[in-house]
Amino acid sequence: MKEKLTISEMARLRGLTPETLRHYDRIGLFKPHHVDIDSGYRYYSIFQYEVLGTIKELREIGMSTEEIKNYFNERNVSNSLSILERKHIDLIDRINELNEIEKSIQEKISWMREISKSKELMEVSVRELPIRSLIVHHDKVQTNLELCYGVIELENKLNEKAPIVGTNRLGVLIDKADLDNHKYNSSCRPFILERIKKKVKEHKLITIPHGKYVCIRYSGELWDRARCLEKAMHYIKENHFEIIGYTLQIAQIDISVTDVIDELVFELQIPIKHS
């Protein structure tokens, strides 16, 4: 056993790299006990083991080097407890954030597995859908350029982590009057489905009621909906239904997960009642 250790020996004892110790020296966090004037070699004392061990543990719990410097500036029970309590709060916040991200990823995986198995394109069905809340853009859009700006504005209203990629939350509202007048490619209002209550920044929500909807899916881009709507409208007329509100066009598979146009899928949901 010896008191004086080379940089490699000290690093090895604490499971660190020599470069880490050089970095700590450069930023003034952990200085060698002695530096040889002629060779420039750093030497450490075994009695510095506690300081380096504490630094290592504080880094493991997520403290920055600046926070660790502050920890050592006036180290006593009261200050150490206060610093650890603040770090504990930070860690709880981070854990909650990671839990939210994990839940979001799990939902994305489940949805993408479900939709990738579905082959029901251009087939009309009537489904009962639940009440939903939409974050809706204040202006209508008619071009991809306008759509891009509208979606960005909506996404900025969300206070969530990874809210859009691989989900079926993004879409547009089509006015009832446009369908009644067979204006299938008219302007529409972008929206995002609200997923988590109180996670929207100061924005009025639109409620879409529970009810029956004529639904049909197609592959292609947002503006390729005319043929699909024509088929849905024929079905509505043939079965003596009446449109009673906004039509929702929701991206099922969008450009966030594929660059292949033929893999893009949209679903149209038209609220109806018997006329």
Is the domain of 128 the same as that of 53? no
Residue (of 174, 179, 173, 171) closest to 243 by Cα position: 179
On whether residue 89 sits in a domain, the answer given is: no
Structural domain including 71 reads 4-75
Question: How many distinct structural domains can be found in the chain?
Answer: 2
Domain CATH number, residue 151: 3.20.80.10
| pLDDT score, position 158 | 87
On whether residue 9 sits in a domain, the answer given is: yes
Answer positive or negative: Cα dihedral of 89, 92, 96, 101: positive
Is the domain of 165 the same as that of 268? yes
| pLDDT score, position 37 | 87
On whether residue 80 sits in a domain, the answer given is: no
On whether residue 88 sits in a domain, the answer given is: no
Query: Residue 193: what are its φ and ψ, rounded to 5°?
Result: -70, 130
Q: In the chain, at which residue ranges do the beta strands (DSSP E only) sit?
A: 4-6, 34-35, 42-45, 125-129, 132-136, 170-174, 189-193, 205-208, 211-219, 241-243, 247-253, 265-274
pLDDT, tens digit only, all 275 positions of the chain: 789 999 999 999 999 999 999 999 999 999 999 888 888 889 999 999 999 999 999 999 989 999 999 899 888 999 899 989 999 999 999 999 999 899 989 999 998 898 888 778 999 999 999 999 999 999 999 999 999 999 999 998 888 888 888 899 999 999 999 999 999 999 999 999 987 665 566 567 899 999 999 999 999 999 999 999 999 999 999 999 999 999 999 999 999 999 999 999 999 999 999 98
Q: Which residue has the tokens 């709060």?
A: 89
Residue 134 · residue 204 · CB < 8 Å: no
Confidence (pTM): 0.75
User: CA 151 from chain center: how many Å?
Assistant: 15
Is the domain of 29 the same as that of 133? no
Is the domain of 65 the same as that of 164? no
